[in-house]
Amino acid sequence: MWTSIQEAIFQAVGTSVGSMSFGERILYLIAEYGPSYVKGAGNTLLIALIATAIGCIIGLGVGVIQTIPVSKQDHLAKRIVVRFIQALLRIYVEVFRGTPMMIQAVFLYYGAAQLFNIYMSTMFAAYFVVSINTGAYMAETVRGGILSVDPGQTEGAKAIGMTHVQTMLWVILPQTLRNILPQIGNNLIINIKDTCVLSVISVVELFFVHKGVAGALYTYFESAAITMTIYLIMTLICAKLLRWWEKKMDGADNYDLATTDTLAHTTGMYDYPGKGSPYDERSKELGQRRHKKGGR
Amino acid sequence: MADTILQIRHLNKAFGNHEVLKDIDFTVEKGDVTSIIGASGSGKSTLLRCINLLETPTSGEVLYHGQNVLSPGFNAPAYRTHVGMVFQSFNLFNNMTVLENCMVGQLKVLKKSKEEAQAAAMNYLEKVGMAPYINAKPRQISGGQKQRVAIARALAMEPEVLLFDEPTSALDPEMVGEVLTVMQQLAKEGMTMLVVTHEMAFARDVSSRVVYMNQGVICEAGTPQQIFGDPQRQETKDFLSRFRNC
């Protein structure tokens, strides 16, 4: 029955798609709508990349503020202000983590127009919605990342006189960033896929293009095959690039000696003439043993 | 008269109802090498952490050149640059190379120029014998090497006094020697040091003063000859008898 409907439409449109095989239809769609798919994929990637980047910055800011330690010794005013901001951010995280992005898009896009007379372009709305959504997720990730850094690192930094801000900036956050990089990658991939919900506010991304193409010729299966392949290629490339970035951040597995090591000889060699440590219990034993041997 | 750097007066520290330090009194003079010995849990490390303000004492005073570091509004970060600390678990910055570890404090806290900081860092890294490893990350070097870098990092801040919190306790036996050798060298050069340690030989042979702590109080203090040769208190005798063979 489905084939007969398709057939009827193809005839009405006046193309020869009806008589084509599956493969031919795919090629036909690519030839006919290729530029549209490319434009959709481009927008999808652009939204995902930019929104993930902005989301990370939002998340970093929120995560850092949420981990500011407040002790009883601090001024009352400071404690109240910090606690109030932390509570506000908590609400932000819970609201945007706890509602679907699709509804958020509709709510903000139409809400801004209706309540504040702000008419966003659909692309701006897309960046905005995905960014704050990612920010809410990243805030939790960053908080966890900061907590996962060994407290000894903070103590080490404090012991050489670093302030809280310096400790965060030079010691804790670089390590946090490395730790949460897999999660950032996860978010990027999720964002590439989830931008498809933005079609609800008519953002011209890949899924929106698919809907148009499939609807025009009733080639749902063929267009879905193309669209899925494009999504998969994008996510696989991103995953690969992120792995490479992770490796790069870890630095080399080996290192070059700047000069020759002179003290290393003492390691594990207590009876090394004149260089062993007198503070090791075993050194005396070894010395005696050698003495006995020599005496024999 | 010797120059008094640190003066601890009636220091108390409690975690909840558990009193860890009770009425601690002692002074650190310039050039002193003080070893604090005692059983685990006797409050040695807590005392050191209170001096460096990593823990906030419950009551009492810590005077640095006569100034109370516990008074409100005291600039703790600035104070800590004068009072260096070496930790049991090294606490080297994992995201930096050995050289960067020794430079970051000079650059960001002391605001030195890059060339100056690098020269100073190299000087101290050579002193601890770690100059060959400046390009290594902390995860790539051994425990003993890490601790030597940690000492160089603390020295690079040119502190007046260095606190050592069980610097060799987390090390394999064969690595203890290299760290103690470096510490002995520092002591010879006149560095003021306050060392919490379980290395009795070090306390006996290198330090100028030994403090024995037991259950949160200073049980006995004196020269190494007094403490190791002729301990007055029964607790000290009992504690040292376990190390008689050292």
Residue of B88, B174, B175 to mutate, testing the A interface (most A Cβ within 10 Å of its Cβ): B174
SS3 (DSSP) at B6: strand
Whole-number percent of chain A with pLDDT over 90:
24
DSSP lists the bridge partners of residue A102 as none
- Residues of A near B (CB-CB distance < 8 A)? 73, 150, 152-153, 155-163, 166, 170-171, 174-175, 178, 251, 254-264, 266-268, 270, 276-283
Residues of B in contact with A277 (CB under 8 A): 176-178, 180-181
Rounded to whole angstroms, the Cα distance separating A117 from A111 reads: 9
Please list, in sequence order, all residues whose beta carbon lies within 8 angstroms of the beta carbon of residue B185, skipping any fewer than 6 positions away: B127
**Residue A18, pLDDT score:** 63
pLDDT, one tens digit per residue, over B75-113 is 888 899 999 999 999 999 998 999 999 999 999 999 999
Nearest CB among B93, B177, B245 relative to A279 is that of B177
- When CB atoms are compared, the residue of B130, B136, B180 closest to A255 is B136
DSSP-derived secondary structure letter, B172: -
Using 50, 70 and 90 to split pLDDT, how confident is the model at A58?
Answer: very high
pLDDT at residue A118 in the model: 81
**Above 0.85 for ipTM, yes or no?**
yes
Residue among B109, B133, B205 whose CB faces A161 most closely: B109
Interface contact flag, B54 A163, Cβ < 8 Å: no
- What is the pLDDT at residue A28? 76
Which residues are CB-neighbours of A266 under 8 A, at least 6 positions away? A272, A275, A276, A277, B177, B178, B181
Residue A146 has pLDDT above 70, yes or no: yes
Whether A4 shows a pLDDT value over 50: the answer reads yes
Interface touch B199/A279, C-beta < 8 Å = yes
Return the CA Rg of chain A. 30
Question: Where do the domains of chain A lie, and which CATH numbers do they carry?
Answer: 2-250 (1.10.3720.10), 257-296 (no CATH)
A251 and B137 within 8 Å at the Cβ level: the answer is yes
Q: Which stretches of chain B score pLDDT less than 70?
A: 1-2, 244-246
pLDDT of A5 reads 58
Among A75-79, A145-149, A281-285, A291-295, the range with the most confident prediction by mean pLDDT is: A145-149
Nearest beta carbon to residue A175 from set B94, B134, B181: B94
Residues of B in contact with A170 (CB under 8 A): 93, 104, 108
pLDDT value of position B74: 82
C-beta separation of A168 from B108 below 8 A = no
pLDDT confidence of residue A15 = 58
Mean pLDDT, range A149-174, rounded to an integer: 91
**pLDDT in the model for residue B245:** 55
Is B129–A160 a contact, with Cβ atoms under 8 angstroms apart?
A: no
pLDDT band at A21 (very low <50, low <70, confident <90, very high): confident
Token pair belonging to B56: 């906030």
Size of interface A-B (CB pairs under 8 A): 135
Are the beta carbons of B80 and A158 separated by less than 8 Å? yes
Q: Where are the beta strands (DSSP E) in chain B?
A: 4-15, 18-29, 33-37, 59-64, 67-68, 83-86, 161-165, 192-196, 209-214, 217-222
How would you class A233 by CB atoms within 10 Å of its CB: exposed for 0-12, middle for 13-18, buried for 19 or more? exposed
Nearest-by-Cβ selection for B89 from A152, A161, A257: A152
Q: Is A251 in Cβ contact with B133 (below 8 Å)?
A: no
For residue A291, pLDDT beyond 70: no
**How much is the average pLDDT of A17-42?**
79
pLDDT of res. B43? 87
Least CA distance to B130: which residue of chain A?
A261
Residue A261 has pLDDT above 60, yes or no: no
Contact flag B178-A263 (C-beta cutoff 8 Å): yes
Tens of pLDDT, residues A67-101: 887 766 667 888 888 889 999 999 999 999 999 98
Enter the pTM of the model.
0.76
Q: How confident is the model at residue A265 (pLDDT cuts 50, 70, 90)?
A: very low
